[in-house]
Amino acid sequence: MRTSTPDRRAARALGVGLGAAINILDIPVVVLGGHLSPLTEVLRPELEEGGAADPSAWM
């Protein structure tokens, strides 16, 4: 399955948001379920890249 640019941008933004929540709340594991579960493998690279983003760059 190919992803479009808006899908990749949305996945990266979700990764940034999840990364911030993980850092603030010290969450050990994130599970994507529901309608996102079939897309996890396709969007994983963008999610991981967004989660690894430096949060200070957004301030």
Q: How many domains does the chain have?
A: 1
Confidence (pLDDT) at 57: 55
Assess if residue 22 is contained within a domain. yes
Residue 21 structural domain: 5-54
Assess if residue 18 is contained within a domain. yes
User: Could you give the CA distance from residue 27 to residue 2 in angstroms, rounded to a whole number?
Assistant: 30
Region 11-21: what's the mean pLDDT? 85
Name the residue type at position 27.
I
Assess if residue 59 is contained within a domain. no
Per-residue pLDDT of 17-46, as tens digits, reads 888 888 888 888 888 888 888 888 888 888
- 3-state SS, one letter per residue, for the chain: CCCCHHHHHHHHHHHHHHHHHHHHHCCCCCCCCHHHHHHHHHHHHHHHHHHCCCHHHHC
Whether the pTM exceeds 0.75: the reply is: no
Asked if residues 20 and 53 have their Cβ atoms less than 8 Å apart, the reply is: no
Region 7-23: what's the mean pLDDT? 85
